[in-house]
Amino acid sequence: MLVLASQSPRRSEILRQAGIPFTVRVAVVDETPLEGEKPEDYVVRLAELKALAVPAGPDETVLGADTTVVIDGEMLGKPADAAEARRMLARLSGRQHEVITGICLKRGVEVVRDCAATKVWFAPMSAREIEEYVASGEPMDKAGAYAIQGLASKFIERIDGCYCNVVGLPVALVRDRQAHLTRLRK
């Protein structure tokens, strides 16, 4: 059985849509980046902290995951308020950025870590479009202040990489690494 160490409804939905049975056990970890930490290292570290934070039986595999948006080398997490969401969206408007998700799978003493990166191109957004999108409330609990699967979809010109990664979980990578973990145990 897979244990998702996350309260993210988006990660749960991705696993459900992929037909992967799972249960949720919420992990609470400090998500403060370390000084000078690279985005890839940050999301993998948090994914591992989450995977290690929840109890699991011998027949359970725990999945931890964390996602960040990166533009100009800077990580954009979840906005603290509407003003920060507006600033993030203005920065993404008309530009390309990267969405990076770290994953960690733990079964017994075996641990597998990895990350996926997807490039995303935003269409230019007017100040009014940004204001209307922020007013919808959708940006408030999303890294980079947008949901590709929601109202922001109309602003996405193209992506290069895994769509599910941008939503919050690179499910094909998870499946591949879970199979690897199973092979390690044989």
Condensed to tens digits (0 to 9), the pLDDT of residues 136-148 reads 999 998 999 999 9
Measured distance CA(2)–CA(21) in Å, rounded: 7
Domain ranges of the chain: 2-184
Q: State the residue for tokens 């696993």.
A: 15
pLDDT band at 183 (very low <50, low <70, confident <90, very high): confident
To the question of pTM greater than 0.85 for the whole model, the response is yes
Q: How far is CA 75 from the centre of its chain?
A: 12
Q: H or E segment at 158?
A: strand 156-160
pLDDT at 67: 95
Cα–Cα separations (whole angstroms), residue 40 to 68, 152, 161 = 9, 24, 16
The single-letter DSSP state of residue 27 is -
Residue 66 a catalytic site member: yes
2-184 has which CATH code?
3.90.950.10
DSSP calls for 60-120: -EEEEEEEEEEETTEEE---SSHHHHHHHHHHHTTSEEEEEEEEEEEETTEEEEEEEEEEE
pLDDT at 72: 96
Helix, strand, or coil (residue 37): coil
The mean of the pLDDT values for the chain is: 95
| Catalytic hit among 66, 72, 141, 160 | 66
Q: Which of 45-54, 83-92, 114-123, 174-183 has the lowest mean pLDDT?
A: 174-183
pLDDT digits (tens, 9 = 90+) for 24-82: 999 889 999 999 999 999 999 999 999 999 999 988 999 999 999 999 999 999 999 99
pLDDT at 181: 82
Measured distance CA(87)–CA(83) in Å, rounded: 6
